[in-house]
Structure formats: C-alpha cells, structure tokens
C-alpha cells in the first residue's frame, strides 16, 4: 500500500502555486477545502505519473467538475442521482438495475460531494467499485464538516477518513 497524503504535505506556497496554474478556472472563489482537495488530486496524479484515462464516469455530477481539468480523458459518462435512476443508496449490482450492465467499465470514477446525501455509504462505495475497471481509480470527495444543504437528502455533516478507509478495506479497495 502506498503512503497516504497528509494534511501537512501541501505547503501554503505549493497551494498558491497550484491555484495560479490550475487549468481552466480561477480557484480564488472556491472554499479552501475544495482547493486543497484539488491540489491533493493533482499531487496524486503526479505521484502516479498518470494523467490520461480512456473511460471516465462522474456519479451525480456534471461535465463541469473541476477535477476533470486535471487530466485528459476519452469518453465521459454522467450517472445522475436526481431523476437519472442512479441512486447510490440502491444496489447497482443486481441484474435488474440499469448500472448492472456497466460493471468494470471505467478507468476513473469520480464521486464528488455526494456521500453526505446518502443514507448508506457502504452501498454507495460498493456501487462505485462496481463501475471501476480492475486497476481503475475511484475518487471520492466529501466534506469532513458541513452545514445542512440539499434537504431532504442530507444525512451526514461529514465522515471521518478512518470510516471511509474501513469501508474501502471491507470492499477490497486499496486506499
């Protein structure tokens, strides 16, 4: 297992430099935590030496997700939570669900700021794993602490990283 990034890895100088060179957007209006998450993802891509993915899936987001500016991709698919039939609280692995046919289809699965709106993070993470190809990457970003928003579908003001790591380990995912 590779070493994890910690809160101390990015320096203020590296964050400011990252903000100045971010492709495609001015990051100054964004919350610091959002900028830090983007910076961590950029550092992870640098560490992996990988910035190109063939098949990318955004679960409950749009083609305007800031993370998408950090890498190149071929095909992009959107799985919409609201009105799109892709509720992450549902089991996507059973034969009757639309996503069951998408097993192991994506090199990169992005799920940004969604888990706090779900009642079952284990099922959600199992669904994301269902979509990822072997060796594919799943990027989940959630607030550690947050105000209530998106009611009535708001269930957590944040999850501790240890809980998410525990769930990932239970599902056989490498963090």
Structure-block tokens of residue 79: 């799985």
Per DSSP bridges, beta strands 132-141 and 106-112 are parallel
**Are the C-beta atoms of 97 and 127 separated by less than 8 Å?**
no
Pair 54, 108: CB distance under 8 Å: no
The average pLDDT across 4-29 equals 78
pTM of the predicted model as reported, rounded to 2 decimal places: 0.85
The full DSSP string for 117-153 is G-S-HHHHHHHHHHHEEEEEEEEEE--SS----STTS
Confidence of residue 150 (pLDDT cuts 50, 70, 90): low
Residue 1 has pLDDT above 60, yes or no: no
Query: What would you report as the CA-atom Rg of the chain, rounded to the nearest whole angstrom?
Result: 16
Going by C-beta distance under 8 Å and a sequence separation of 6 or more, which residues neighbour residue 26? none
Average pLDDT over residues 27-45: 87
- Strand, helix or coil at 116? helix
Indicate the pLDDT class of residue 5, thresholds 50, 70 and 90: very low
Report whether 33 contacts 84 (CB < 8 A). no
- pLDDT for res 146: 60
pLDDT of residue 53: 97
pLDDT at 3: 45
Task: Tell me which residue has tokens 């209530």.
Answer: 148
Lowest-confidence region among 54-58, 85-89, 106-110, 155-159: 155-159
| 2 has pLDDT over 50 | no
Cα distance between residue 124 and residue 99, in whole Å:
13
Question: How many Å apart are CA 1 and CA 8, to the nearest integer?
Answer: 20
Tally of CB atoms within 10 A around 42 = 21
Q: What is the pLDDT of residue 10?
A: 77
In this predicted structure, what is the pLDDT of residue 8? 52
Strand partners, 76: 56
Residue 87 DSSP code: -
pLDDT at position 24: 78
Crossing angle, helix 121-131 and helix 161-170, to 10 degrees?
A: 50
Least confident of 74-78, 115-119, 133-137: 115-119
- Condensed to tens digits (0 to 9), the pLDDT of residues 78-133 reads 988 766 678 888 888 887 788 888 899 999 999 988 888 888 889 999 999 999 99
């Amino acid at each position: 297992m590779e070493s994890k990034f910690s809160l101390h890895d990015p320096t203020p100088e590296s964050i400011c430099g990252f903000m100045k060179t971010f492709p495609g957007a001015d990051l100054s209006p964004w919350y610091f935590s959002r900028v830090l998450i983007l910076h961590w993802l950029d550092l992870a891509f640098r560490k992996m030496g990988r910035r190109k993915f063939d098949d990318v899936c955004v679960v409950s987001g749009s083609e305007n997700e800031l993370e998408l500016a950090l890498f190149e991709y071929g095909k992009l698919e959107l799985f919409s939570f609201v009105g799109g039939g892709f509720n992450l609280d549902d089991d996507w692995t059973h034969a009757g669900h639309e996503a069951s046919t998408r097993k192991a289809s994506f090199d990169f699965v992005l799920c940004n700021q969604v888990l706090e709106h779900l009642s079952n993070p284990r099922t959600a993470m199992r669904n994301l794993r269902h979509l990822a190809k072997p060796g594919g990457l799943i990027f989940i970003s959630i607030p550690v602490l947050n105000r209530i928003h998106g009611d009535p579908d708001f269930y957590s003001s944040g999850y501790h990283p240890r809980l998410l790591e525990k769930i990932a380990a239970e599902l056989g995912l490498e963090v």
